[in-house]
């Protein structure tokens, strides 16, 4: 009986001790960032695509957030990737064109690694320097290859047989399987597709081989009110797709050198199914041929995203993993008669941006203006890591929760430098608001102003023609937009650094890794084992 008081005391103490113990901190979320190259927003069915279906990306949108006004700040590959890492505009991060990124700079992966995240970079890097801030990395040299690609790893280079899109997804899954279980992870999973070259896997190539597509309203755009830059550009469907782009077979009897030269030519007539095509008929055939391969590459990406999402579900990681999907820049699918990106017109400026995961409200479509400068701050904020003052973007976390901050930006600032570049694209700077867009081709001192509500396809430059430009209504809008452009230029401390090509930083991004030690052909598992 003497034990009874002790037992009773113990019974009362246990709940008291339990109540006094601090609550366990919620686990920090994993962050999986899936990035593609040149994926047009209007080539996702969750964004209203009229030309393809993307069920796995649609699933991501349905289970999370789909941003309806996501933009880039410099619509080209390497500058966008530098912005992704640093949260800065090109004039701040040192990558205005295809020049080497300084790996000693601070960036988001370094911040997350220092905060205890296991960090990884897989796929297309395209920044010239070796990746820094990553516990494990395996990246394509330069643009990389679609078939049996070479990858660079810390100790050399290796080859993995197969199709790059499928391999990239498999490498991501292997990274997840072999991650340290005691740390949250931050994985940047970067696809090459659907970049030019447009070499899809065989399954999706067969799916799109005979596909036809509705033509964009502006496929035969004559650029009548926009004479400053569009007429002289070299990224048109009509004039600039090569025999190689169109997957045409060189005539018999040519030498290897002659065949290569023929593949670089831009045909203005073509024999198709026994008929010689020229003029509008040829343009329509080129458009269809380009779209078949481009969308087949997009489909491969969607398939890969589906496999990665399935792995997250099967492994139990989905519940605590934030998945974010976007692309490096917009893309023209025959819009304004173009392919490629670069120009600030809507298809080149807009990007898809999807996110799901813990703390993210499902099924919403925020209309606030967001930009790629916001991604690095968002990663840090979601991980509970302070955002450095050097980052010029803003965390999207409030929007992901379904909040609507009253002080959110209502305009976006854009600057493109690479003139003439690969497609004879004129350098320009601009601003977009909810209703208007102003573009300044500064080398020509030429301005374009568009009413995006009345003219969503940007066909009528309001400043074209003296009478239009002098109207009081247009003059007021022009003055207001110029004032907003000046305000944003000051806000982002853009002092025209790199406006002159003579000031562009040195170094390139397209090395093939020839100097690196060859490690041979590897399996996906073997390649990931060499990524640290």
Interatomic CA distance for residues 320 and 297, integer angstroms = 30
304 and 277 together in one domain: no
Q: Is the pLDDT of residue 220 over 60?
A: yes
| Residue 472 falls inside a structural domain | no
At residue 25 the predicted structure's pLDDT band, cuts being 50, 70 and 90, is low
Same domain? 124 vs 62: yes
Residue 14: band (very low, low, confident or very high) from pLDDT cuts 50, 70, 90: very low
Residues 273 and 126 in one domain: no
122 and 186 fall within a common domain? yes
* Domain membership flag for residue 166: yes
pLDDT score of 529 more than 60: yes
pLDDT score recorded for residue 11: 40
Same domain assignment for residues 232 and 319 = no
- Decide the pairing of beta strands 321-327 and 30-36: parallel
95 & 147 share domain: yes
Asked if the model's pLDDT at residue 209 lies above 50, the reply is yes
Mean pLDDT rounded to a whole number for the chain: 95
Of 261, 283, 305, at which residue does a domain stop? 283
Reply yes or no on whether the pLDDT at 7 is more than 50: no
Place of tokens 């997250």: 312
- DSSP-derived pairing of the beta strands 70-71 and 321-327: unpaired
Kindly report the pTM of this predicted structure: 0.94
| 203, 215, 278, 425 from 211: Cα distances, Å | 14, 13, 21, 31
Residues 274 and 298 in one domain: no
Mean pLDDT for the stretch of residues 136-149: 98
256 in Cβ contact with 275 (< 8 Å): no
- Mean pLDDT across 94-98: 98
Confidence of residue 330 (pLDDT cuts 50, 70, 90): very high
Instruction: Give the per-residue pLDDT at 27.
Output: 87
Residue 450 inside a domain? The answer is: no
> What is the arithmetic mean of pLDDT over 82-97?
98
List the one residue out of 423, 398, 81 whose CA is nearest residue 229: 423
Distance CA 508, CA 356 (A): 35
Residues 198 and 99 in one domain: yes
Residue with tokens 């004129």: 426
State the burial class of residue 372 (Cβ atoms within 10 Å of its Cβ: 0-12, 13-18, 19+): buried
Q: Are residues 106 and 154 in the same domain?
A: yes
Question: Which tokens hold the place of 109?
Answer: 């992966």
Kindly provide the residue ranges of all beta strands, DSSP E only, lying in 204-327, ordered along the sequence.
Answer: 270-272, 275-277, 321-327
8 falls within a domain: no
The pLDDT of residue 526? 98
- What is the CATH number for 319? 3.40.720.10
Q: Are residues 104 and 183 in the same domain?
A: yes
Give the per-residue pLDDT at 468.
72
Last residue of a domain, one of 283, 302, 336: 283
Decide if 360 contacts 332 (C-beta within 8 A).
no
Residue 313: per-residue pLDDT: 98
In a domain, 255, yes or no: yes
Strand ranges for 286-363 from DSSP E: 321-327, 353-356
Query: Both 80 and 217 in a single domain?
Result: no
Percent of the chain with pLDDT over 70: 95
Bridge partners (DSSP) listed for residue 354: 66, 325
Q: Which domain holds residue 271?
A: 211-283
Q: What is the total count of domains within the chain?
A: 2
pLDDT of residue 345: 98
Pairing state between β 70-71 and 270-272: unpaired
Segment 282-303 mean pLDDT: 98
Indicate the DSSP class of residue 131.
P
Of 37-41, 86-90, 268-272, 466-470, the poorest mean pLDDT is in 466-470
- Domain stops at, among 283, 318, 333: 283
Q: Is residue 1 pLDDT above 50, yes or no? A: no
Whether 271 and 377 map to the same domain: the answer is no
Unique residue bearing structure tokens 């901190």: 25
**What distance in Å separates the CA atoms of residue 41 and residue 47, rounded to the nearest whole number?**
6
In a domain, 356, yes or no: yes
What is the arithmetic mean of pLDDT over 296-301?
A: 98
Average pLDDT over residues 101-115: 98
pLDDT of 190 strictly over 70: yes
Give the E-state strand segments of 56-175 in sequence order. 65-66, 70-71, 118-124, 136-140, 150-153, 156-159
pLDDT in tens, 428-473: 999 999 999 999 999 999 999 999 999 999 999 999 987 777 899 9
pLDDT in tens, 354-405: 999 999 999 999 999 999 999 999 999 999 999 999 999 999 999 999 999 9
Residue 351 lies in a domain: yes
**Average pLDDT for residues 499-505, to the nearest whole number?**
97
User: Is residue 331, in this structure, part of any structural domain at all?
Assistant: yes
């Amino acid at each position: 009986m003497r034990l009874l008081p002790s037992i009773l005391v113990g019974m009362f103490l246990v709940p008291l001790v339990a109540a006094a113990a601090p609550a366990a901190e919620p686990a920090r979320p994993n962050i999986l960032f899936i990035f593609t190259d040149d994926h047009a927003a209007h080539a996702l069915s969750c964004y209203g695509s009229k030309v393809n279906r993307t069920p796995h990306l649609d699933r991501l949108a349905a289970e999370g957030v789909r941003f309806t006004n996501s933009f880039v700040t410099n619509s080209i590959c390497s500058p966008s990737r530098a912005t992704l890492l640093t949260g800065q505009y090109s004039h701040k991060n040192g990558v205005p064109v295809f020049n080497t990124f300084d790996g000693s700079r601070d960036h988001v992966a370094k911040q997350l690694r220092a905060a205890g995240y296991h960090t990884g970079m897989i796929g297309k890097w395209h920044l010239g320097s070796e990746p820094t801030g990553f516990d494990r990395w395996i990246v394509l040299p330069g643009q990389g290859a679609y078939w049996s690609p070479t990858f660079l790893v810390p100790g050399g280079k290796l080859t993995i047989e197969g199709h790059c899109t499928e391999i990239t997804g498999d490498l991501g899954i292997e990274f997840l399987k072999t991650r340290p279980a005691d740390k949250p992870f931050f994985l940047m999973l970067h696809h090459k597709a659907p970049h030019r070259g447009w070499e899809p896997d065989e399954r999706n190539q067969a799916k799109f081989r005979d596909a036809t597509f509705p033509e964009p309203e502006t496929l035969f755009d004559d650029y009548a009110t926009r004479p400053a830059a569009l007429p002289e550009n070299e990224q048109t469907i009509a004039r600039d797709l090569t025999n190689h782009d169109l997957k045409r077979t060189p005539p018999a009897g040519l030498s290897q050198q002659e065949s290569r030269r023929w593949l670089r030519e831009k045909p203005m007539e073509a024999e198709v199914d026994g008929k010689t095509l020229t003029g509008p008929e040829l343009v329509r055939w080129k458009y269809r041929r380009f779209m078949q391969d481009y969308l087949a590459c997009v489909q491969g990406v969607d398939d890969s995203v589906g496999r990665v999402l399935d792995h997250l579900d099967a492994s139990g990681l989905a519940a605590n993993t934030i998945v974010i999907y976007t692309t490096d820049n917009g893309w023209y699918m025959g819009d304004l008669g173009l392919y490629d990106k670069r120009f600030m017109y809507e298809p080149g400026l807009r990007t898809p941006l999807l996110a799901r995961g813990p703390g993210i409200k499902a099924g919403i479509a925020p209309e606030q203006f967001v930009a790629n400068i916001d991604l690095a701050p968002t990663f840090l904020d979601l991980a509970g890591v302070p955002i450095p003052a050097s980052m010029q973007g803003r965390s999207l976390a409030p929007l992901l929760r379904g909040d609507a901050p009253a002080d959110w930006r209502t305009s976006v600032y854009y600057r493109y430098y690479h003139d003439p570049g690969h497609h004879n694209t004129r350098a320009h700077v601009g601003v977009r608001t909810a209703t208007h867009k102003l573009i300044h081709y500064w080398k020509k001192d030429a301005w374009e102003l568009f009413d995006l509500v009345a003219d969503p396809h940007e066909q009528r430059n309001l400043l074209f023609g003296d009478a239009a430009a002098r109207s009081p209504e247009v003059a007021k809008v022009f003055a207001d937009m110029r004032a907003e452009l000046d305000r944003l230029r000051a806000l982002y401390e853009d002092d025209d650094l790199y406006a002159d090509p003579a000031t562009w930083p040195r170094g390139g991004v397209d090395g093939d890794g020839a100097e690196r030690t060859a490690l041979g052909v590897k399996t996906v598992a073997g390649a990931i084992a060499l990524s640290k």
